Structures are given as C-alpha cells and as structure tokens.
Structure 1
Amino acid sequence: MISVIIVDDHAMYREGIRATMSKTACCPVKIIGEAGSAAEFFLLLSEGNIPELVVLDIMLPDLSGVEIARRLKSEYPEIKIIMLSSEVSEELITELLEIGVDGYLNKLARKEDIQAAFCTVIGGSQYFGRNVAKMMYDIYLNKQNKNTTPKKKSIFIGKKQKPSSEQTHPILSEREQEIMRLLCDAKSVKEIAEQLCISTRTVETHKSNILHKLGFSNVVDLVKYGIKEGIVVL
C-alpha cells in the first residue's frame, strides 16, 4: 500500500484527488494526511507522517509549491512528488526538471490521467503528460544547441543497418515500436495492455527492453526522442 499526502489549499480539489486515487487499480493507496498550506504540510512531516508520494499544488497561500518540492528533494529524496498546476510555462517545467520532481499534472486533468500519473510515478518513471511533452523537447533542444560540439546519437528504429566496426545500432521490433508510440502518447502500462490484448507484465518487459536498447533511463527521455524522430505527432 502506497502512503500519500495531498497538499492543496482547496478542500474540494483534495477530495476529488483522494476519490480518484482510491480507485487506482495498479496499487492500493492510503491517504495519511492532507494539508491546505505549507505550514500544515511540514507539521505533518514533523509528526512523523512521512509519505511515499506527495501530490503538491504549486500555488499555496504561504509558500510556493516549487520551494516545497526543492526542500523535499533535499531533505527527503526518497519521497516522490507529483506537482499540480493550472498553468504551465517553459520556465516552470525547466525548474521542476532541475529540482527532480517525478511528475506534473494540470489541475484540469481527467481522472484517467491522474491515475496514469500515479501508477507511472509509483512504478519508478516520470510522468509529465502529453501536453507538456513538446515543451520539454523544446527545453531539451535549447540545451543541446548551447553545446558547441554536440554529439549526435545514432539510433535507428525498425530498419536494419549494416553493422560497422565501430558500433552497432539497437533495433526495435514492430511490437516494441507500437508500444513505444503508446508510451510516448502518455498511455499507462495497464491501458497499453488492454489496447493490445496482452498482459501488463509483457508490456513492462517490452518497456524495459525499449529503454535498454535506446539507452534511456526513463519514459521522459523516450518521449523527447519520439518527438525528435517524428515517432510521436503532437
């Protein structure tokens, strides 16, 4: 069972998040606390209520959620964080990525997206959703362009290449390409399994193989690559 604290200054929104997460199929959830401010949240922590996941609003009355996330990642690096915001900007996403938060959700997200974010983050990956993917890739490109001697990584998908003496290129099977597209489309493992009529374990195996073959450690980097190569159309 995953322990969760919800931090948002609107009680009705906290109630909605709690109800949605309680119906998440991937893992049982225990809400061990709720807070409407930074002060209330840090009081919960001081009382020994240390969650595995914090769902954290960016706009709080006494302290920015970004500053709370920064402090959490410094003092409690094992706690996973999903940020909530009604607005998104390149500056905000850049800051969240630098802090190392585990996920981002628009406050208008559908129940299915909230559940997908929860399952993805608890599963050890990052979740930022389809709407943020293009912005993340733009940030990635800007960083790459600042490098005066960028190294281009040669990766080929679905097309066999002649091996060279210097390197060989990883190749994805048709099934792996299909699953990659669905992952880049912010589909959860459960949704992919249902759509392709295969088990969640099979999807997890394919996902692991895809990341390994392409040299990525998480789905966020996979999305960046998918956009760059035209595999994902936004």
Structure 2
Amino acid sequence: MKIEATGEFRIRVARHAALADPARLRIVDLLTLGDFSPTELQAELGMSSNLLSHHLRTLEDAGLAVRRRSEADRRRSYFRLAAGALEGLVPGGGQDARRVLFVCTRNSARSQLAAALWQQASHVPSMSAGTHPADRVAQGAIDVARRHGMDLEGCLPRTLDQVAEGGDFVVTVCDNAHEELPGLAGAHWSVPDPVRLGTEEAFEAAFADIARRVQDLAPRVLTA
C-alpha cells in the first residue's frame, strides 16, 4: 500500500483526526466566529472542565487552536483558531502543469466547454482536442456557452496529435476517450454526452457538471 508520508500530509492527518470527535468539531465551529475563554466554551457545550481541557489540548497539539492570555485579567485565557488552521483540510493534492488539455472523442462539446470554463477560472493555459474530431462544434454547445456569457463560435475541433504537448495535464471528459487512452497521466471526468440527447437540458446539465469540476480543480493546478 502506497501512502504519501510528507510532513504536510501528516499534519493534515492529525487535523482530520482531531476534528473526528464531535465535541472538538463543535469547538472549531465556535472558534470560526471568534475567540472564546474556556469558561465560555463550557457554557456553550455543557461540558466538564477536565474534559474540555482534554479537547483543547488536542486541538492545540494538532495546530488547530492557540491560547492567548487575557490583557485584562491575566488569570483568564482565550482560544482562537490558529493561522491557516483549516487550510488543506479539503482532500486533494496539487498538480504542476504547463497547460491543461481537455479531451473528448469528437471535441465538439464537452472538451470545448471545459477549456472555455477553465480560461475563466485559472491563469494556467488550456486547450481542447478530440480522439476522433467532428467537423464542427455542436450547436447545442455554442448555445449553452452563449447563455452563460461565453463564445464558442470561432472554435474548431482538432485532433489530439495536433494539440498535445509535453507538460500537459490531460483531463478526459468522456468515457470513450478515457478508455481509448489507457494509462494517460492526468484525470478523468465521466461527463454524459449531451450531443446524444441533443436537448437544451442535456447541454445545461453537462455545462453545470463541468463548471463544478473546473472550479474544484483550478485552485490545485499551478503553472509548472
């Protein structure tokens, strides 16, 4: 079994472990609002002081919370979220890439929409290509792009061989392309083909699916 073991990964594991307890998760929820003294946390949680102390030490050890002495009453202290406490808690690793290349079979809808959406979400360049390109971009893709403020009118389908370059992070956005290109480094999004149905609803569903995936991936891809 291969498991990443970097220092950063171990920190993430420790923080997830600390947050797995319902009481500690509730404490962190409260600390996102502001700073609390142990007495105030006791009142909120209805918890004994010994048990609360245990949870607070665990959060401190995991780097999620820090303690600061009150400037007014030096016998009193306040807990706050540690700087960057919640960074990296959403699963997902980073990826360096010169460019993101979106690939589907015909390069007439899904990959064209993905490349256009990527250009709005990231500074990393994007392109699209097809394993067996169509003659033109599907009208449904042009229409759904226009409804969402994008223009695919001048786009032309192209072959993967014409477009692919070293350093590309390749994202296949249809199952046919993914299964035709086994072992290809990158990612796969199993997005249903809207061209098969040809309805406005199918293109809107594909657009929404791709848009969500682009927003999730874009922050994790950095310029190589």
Q: Under a length normalisation based on structure 2, what TM-score does the superposition of the two structures give?
A: 0.31
Q: Which has the larger radius of gyration?
A: 2
Structure with greater helix percent:
1
